[in-house]
A and B are shown apart, each in its own frame.
Chain A
Amino acid sequence: MEDGSYTIGMARTMVITSGKGGVGKTTCCAGIGTALAARGKKTLLMEGDVGLNNLDAVLAVEDKILYEMSEVACGKISLFECIMPIRDNLFLLPSIGTSVALLTAEFFMETIEKLRTEFDYILIDSPAGLEEGFHRSVVGAQEAIIVTTPHVTSIRDGYKTSRVIAQYDMKRIELIVNRVRGEYVYKKESLSPEEIADMMQLPLCGVIPEENVINLGYAMERTVAAMSFSLIAAHIDGGERKIFDCTSSYKGWKNRLKRWLS
C-alpha cells in the first residue's frame, strides 16, 4: 500500500472520509488544508459533499462564492475560473448544491487529472456513507484519511470504510482520531487514539482534541486544534512522526495541582 513514491510536480490527492456523518471530515479537510498552505504548499480543497456542501461554511467564505463546479461541468465557465482563492496557497473548488447530477465520478476524475500539475495537494472532502457520493470522492484520490471519533459507532463505520477504500488501490490509508478528550484518555475512561488505530489496523496520522469552538474561518491560529493540524501537516508533508498528545496537560503533579486549584 505505502510505497512513498510521489511524482514531483504532481499533486498528492487525498480523500478525507469516515463512513459516519458528523465526525469531523470537513473540519479536518479545512484544517489540514490550512496547515499545508501555511507550510507553503499550494493546496486545493475540493467539495466532494456536493449536495450538502459545508467546506465553504467551515472556511467562512459562503457569501463570497461566485461560481461552482456544476457550472464547469455544463461548460458555462472554465475550471480555472471556478477555483476560488481563500488565502495564501489555499484554494477552494466549491459546490453549492445545484445541478449536482452533473458532478459524476468521471467529472471528478477528469478535474483532478487536469489540476494535478497545478497544485501540491488536492484534498477532497467526502460525504458520509458509502454510496455514490463516496465513490465520486474516492475515485480520483491516491491516498485516504479516515476520520473517526472515539465512539464505538464511528470506529465501526470507519473500519468498514477503510475496508472498502482498500479496494481502490490507495498508496496510503491513515487514521485521524478527532474530538479526543484528554482527561478521559488520561483516566483510562475512554479509548486512546493508539488503541483505536490498533483495533482499526491503520497507522495513526494525527489526533485532534475536543475543542469548545472550532472556527477555521476566523481565529484558527489560536486554537489547540490548529496545533494538532500543523502536526498532521508536518506528518503528511514532512514525514514527521509527532502525534498530538491530548493527555499532556493532565500529566505530572504540577498540572494536576493547577487543575485542582482552578
Chain B
Amino acid sequence: MNGRERDITRLNRMLQKERLQLPNEAIELLKSEVYSVFDSYFDVIKNSLELSVLPAGKGYEVIAKIKADNVKKLRVTI
C-alpha cells in the first residue's frame, strides 16, 4: 500500500466517524435502554456502561461495555 492508498483508507474511516452525528439525547436514550436490558441478566455496576458507535465496513457498529458483579467484563456488539 503506498502513501496515497494509506491516506484514502485512513481518511475514509475518519470522515465516516464524523458523518455519524447522533445527538447526545439519543446516545443517553440508547444507554438507558441497553442498561436496563443488561441489568435484567447481570448485576450491573452503576455508571459502568460505555457505549461507542464505531464505523465498521460500510455501516456502524454499536459496542457496549459493562462491568457487573457476577461477570468480569462484558463487551457486546449490538
Contacts and interface: CB of A to CB of B under 8 A. Distances in A.
B18 to A, nearest CB: 6
Interface of B is mostly: helix
Interface in A147-188: 152, 155-156, 159-160, 163, 188
A227 B2 CA distance: 31
Contacts, number: 33
For chain B, which range describes its interface: under 10, 10 to 19, 20 to 34, or 35 or more residues?
10 to 19
A199 B10 contact: no
Interface of A is mostly: helix
A120 B4 CA distance: 40
Contact of A152 (B2, B10, B18, B21): B10
A191 interface: yes
B63 interface: no
Contacts of A155: 11, 15
A200 interface: yes
A156 B14 contact: yes
Interface in A114-164: 152, 155-156, 159-160, 163
B11 A199 contact: yes
B12 interface: yes
7 contacts: A152-B14, A155-B15, A188-B4, A191-B7, A191-B11, A199-B11, A199-B12
Interface of A: 152, 155-156, 159-160, 163, 188-191, 195, 199-200
